[in-house]
Amino acid sequence: MAPTRLHDQGFVGKGGSNATTGEGCFLLRAEESRLLRAWTSPQETGASVLLRGTGGMGKSTMLRTYVADARREGEPVFLVCADPPDATREYGVVEQLLARLEQPTCERPPVTAWGTALGEVRAAFTRLGREGVDDPTATTDAYRALCGLLTRLARARGRRLVIAVDDLHWADVSSLCFLRYLLRRLDRIPAAVVASLGDAEPSVDESRAGFLFPLFLRQLTLRPVSEQEVAQLAELVVGAPVGRVFVRACHSVTGGNPYLLHAVLRSLAGVALTPDAWTAAEITRHLPDEVSRAVRARIRHAGPEALALAQGLAVLSGSPAFAVLAETSGLTEAAAEDASHLLEGLGLTRRLKGARVAFSCPAFEAAVHDGMLPSARNDLHARAAEVLRGRGAGWEVVVPHLLRTPGGTPWLVDALRRAALEAASRGDAEQASRCLRRALVEDLPEEVRVAVLVELGTAELDRSVPEASHTLRRAFDLARTEEQRAAAARVLSVALCALDRHDEAAELLTGVLDSRALGARRDPELELRLCYARWCAEGLSPRVLRGLAQVERAARRDATSPRPLAVLRAMLSPAPPEAAAGPAPRRSEAADGSWARVLCRAAALLTAPATARLPEDDARPADAPVSLRAALGGRSLDAALLAARAVAHLGRGRLADAEADADAALAEFTALEVGVQHGWPAVAVSVKVELGRARGRLEEAERLLVEHRLAGGLGVSALTDRLLLARGRLNLAAGRAREALADFLAVGERECAGSNGPTTRRHAGGPSSWRADAALAHLACDDARAAAALVTVEVEQASRASEAVRHGVALRARGLVFGGACGLASLRQACELLATTPARLEEARAWADLGSAERLLGDHEAAGAALRRATTLAESCGATPLADRCLAELRAAGHRPRARTFAGVAALTPAERRVAELAARGLTNRQLAEYLHVGRRTVELHLSAVYDKLGIPGRSGLPTALVEPSLGAFSAVVTGHSGGQADPAA
């Protein structure tokens, strides 16, 4: 088979539409062209330049551009082009040169013997080539005669000749010998020689022709073009500005190869694609067919081993280890070494450190990969998967090949399930889902299909909860055994609860539990999931508590079973669990992530957000092993606990922490495709609404409700009741009292509905303070009687329930409703009660209302103490509008607040701050007085004020308090005088 030239297949531009010609050539090779002209200028004697570069670097284009420029300047130029057939024909290049001298366009010298001399030279070379005469004398005479003709022609023209040889690597050895003769005598012959040469072409015999290359005075190697040059050419070809991402993609895919670059750009311009990031991501799809065919033809010419190695490299992709590549390609390492050497010589591949191989640019890889038959390509992927796993490669490397392995391969399903399990353990739910979906394409036994569907649904819980619910429903419907139904129901119930389909989840779990055979072992995990589903729908109803009690009783017979009531009591206690519930119950090592802890943690946070133990006191959900988290429900339950913790932070007045958790929860639910109209996302939105109210951003909170279509009717769920309460409080703050009252009464109707039945619907965390809120709404509607009736009932119920925060909120509402001396007493009780809880924001509101009431009654001193404390608390929480209101009330009461807080470092005056810093360095009172030029009594007064504002007992706490400010004690704020004693002077 005759050698295949790359430019014949459109690989290297030779002019016409496929060439990087004209303006594009000068644009890409401006510096190289300048050097070539300088090195071959007429002033240079004996000039000779060799252009070198791999295929597509623009050698031929640059040479032809140079020839055209030289002809325009009037220089006699003779361009010859070596072709593959010339590699085996003696003096093929020389015959082309003689033919150029015979052309009518050649300006011959005015001598009558020219034709005769030319004919004699041609006859001499013809005889040498035909007879294969190995006569040095005859050969030298022929060479001398041809050089003489060239010299006569140059002298006749009065200018030097330019001899250009394109693709010198295809020239026959005899012609190369003549060129050697010519190059050695250029100092006596008025001629310049310029040639182009491809690196290590297969036809080049370095042992015979390598002697020629050092004779060139200059060699110019063409390198890949830079990103800046790519941008310039892209704008020229596409005809529009191009972005940086697009330029980088073009440079990376083509490796800076000018021909490949120009071909890709022309292809993109032909289909009118915009040169943006989207096009950049798909750029390998726009490689022209002629380029792909040329690459494959060149590889086929290198031999079957080179083709097998290139196909193996295209399937493995990237830069695989050489041993892996050889085994995947079905070659011995020796044969693979030879094939790799050939491909590297063609400029298609390159060796990397660590015995690795890669294509020179992604365009070559795409050309080889796309040129394979699909069946052959898939067989290679199967072989690659086996080789990689056999050599211990990670599943993340093997998965791309498993997904393309032909169907019916015996080991495929098992490998896909193992890969999915490993991907899930890394938290890569997308890859796990792809593996399991591919496994479902196979012809599986029914029990295996159910197991794979359950595994797929579990993985999809971390991607898309709606998809997971559909997949798991299929698994549940296909299940035939009790174990299969239970396995599917465990995960399906989580997806249904995340979508606010709690009743459906409860019905599903009840059916599975009721279908158990008599005497079967209890399944406490399923029972706890049933309790969770009912709790989301009903709150801590009697039925939920009975279910928890059943699990608790079972724990007495089985030490490994969870004890949910004990856990719930521990979490509702602000003390550590051991102090609240006695010795920790015996349980499995996974207890911290058990369903008992998940359920009780969420219930505790919503039942007593201000006092329950926060999840940060235990291991965070995300810290648990991924496999355990997947069994519990994965990201959906993590997001639910984030929303519950946001409620707890809000209850404690930690607005910044509440916002961070609420935003994180909403982001997770959005990623899982769970709409905010559902239960737990609605809880997170309720926190955002409450934050907007506390910070005075009412319009922002209203836009949030409108954006998520939560301004109208909401679903009936214990979790969405919290959003109704938040929306009602927002409406009340915005002056829409009747709309607020409607929301509060809706919550009340839900909590009171069916109060005599076993499924009493309550607030998700237990009874809410809807009556207190509704009373304030009635008061705003000038219905004092209805307000008094509601708030009286709320105070009684909260008092009986021994819920300090709820009781304090109810007392504050009663103080506002009743007013006067009775109301003032209720407000004082509310402040005293809330001061014993972590609910700082509610305490701030109570103190603010108390201060306002006392100011209106004329007790300005007591009002100042209450308002100072309210200001400090509100400022520490970030409730700026409440702090502004308190400051305004203080000024109305005749006080002159100099700061926005009255406790902590920010509350210190400049003089107090200076005294505190000097005292923290160890100065005594006497030294302080001398240093500051004040009396000792003044120092003592300053220190007493500092101790009260920082909440520390004395001088020893100053270094820490000044670095880590806290609210501390409020004796100075409340009483208005120093409650501490200054340290005695040393």
Mean pLDDT of 573-577: 46
As a whole number of Å, the CA-based R_g of the chain is 44
Report the side by side order of strands in the sheet with 161-166. 77-81, 161-166, 191-198, 48-53, 218-221
What pLDDT, on the 0 to 100 scale, is given for residue 816?
92
Mean pLDDT of 671-677: 79
**pLDDT at residue 583 tops 70:** no
Pairing status of strand 77-81 against strand 48-53 = unpaired
Single pTM value for the model: 0.65
More confident residue, 121 or 400: 400
Mean pLDDT of 57-74: 87
Phi-psi region of 56 (alpha: psi -120 to 50; beta: other; left: phi over 0): left
CA distance 60 to 15: 9
The percentage of residues in the chain with a pLDDT greater than 70, rounded to a whole number, is 80
Mean pLDDT of 82-96: 79
3-state DSSP helix/strand/coil percent for the chain, to nearest 5? 65, 5, 30
Mean pLDDT of 457-462: 87
CA distance 828 to 25: 88
Pairing status of strand 161-166 against strand 77-81 = parallel
What pLDDT, on the 0 to 100 scale, is given for residue 115?
72
Given a contact cutoff of 8 angstroms between Cβ atoms, the answer to whether 539 and 766 are in contact is yes
Largest CA distance in the chain: 137
Give the per-residue SS3 of 401-453.
HHCCCCCCCCCHHHHHHHHHHHHHHCCCHHHHHHHHHHHHCCCCCHHHHHHHH
Token code pair at residue 275: 């040169």
Given a contact cutoff of 8 angstroms between Cβ atoms, the answer to whether 325 and 316 are in contact is yes
Residues 553, 557, 561, 567: what is their CA dihedral angle, to the nearest 10 degrees? 40
What pLDDT, on the 0 to 100 scale, is given for residue 28?
65
More confident residue, 920 or 972: 920
Q: Which residue has the tokens 């010299």?
A: 151
What pLDDT, on the 0 to 100 scale, is given for residue 615?
55
Listed range (773-782, 859-868, 951-960) with the worst mean pLDDT: 951-960
What pLDDT, on the 0 to 100 scale, is given for residue 6?
35
Instruction: Identify the bridge partners of residue 197 per DSSP, sorted by sequence position.
Output: 52
**pLDDT at residue 981 tops 60:** no
Residue 3's pLDDT band, with cuts at 50, 70 and 90, is very low
Type of residue numbered 594: S
Q: What is the DSSP string of 500-538?
A: T-HHHHHHHHHHHHHTSPTTPPP-HHHHHHHHHHHHHHH
Which residue from 244, 238, 196 is spatially nearest to 61, judged by alpha carbons? 196
**Mean of pLDDT over the chain:** 79
Sign of CA dihedral 788, 791, 793, 799: negative
How far from the centroid of its chain's Cα atoms is residue 850's Cα? 51
How many degrees, rounded to 5, is the angle at CA 895 between CA 894 and CA 900? 140
pLDDT tens digits along 774-799: 999 999 999 999 999 999 999 998 88
Find all residues with CB under 8 Å of 83, minimum gap 6, and list them.
5, 92, 167, 170
Find all residues with CB under 8 Å of 67, minimum gap 6, and list them.
77, 79, 162, 164
**pLDDT at residue 202 tops 60:** no
Which residue from 163, 164, 167, 165 is spatially nearest to 7, judged by alpha carbons? 167
Q: 502, exposed or middle or buried, with CB in 10 Å at 0-12, 13-18, 19+?
A: buried
Q: What is the DSSP string of 331-382?
A: --HHHHHHHHHHHHHTTSEEEETTTEEEESSHHHHHHHHHTS-HHHHHHHHH
Find all residues with CB under 8 Å of 355, minimum gap 6, and list them.
321, 322, 323
What pLDDT, on the 0 to 100 scale, is given for residue 897?
76
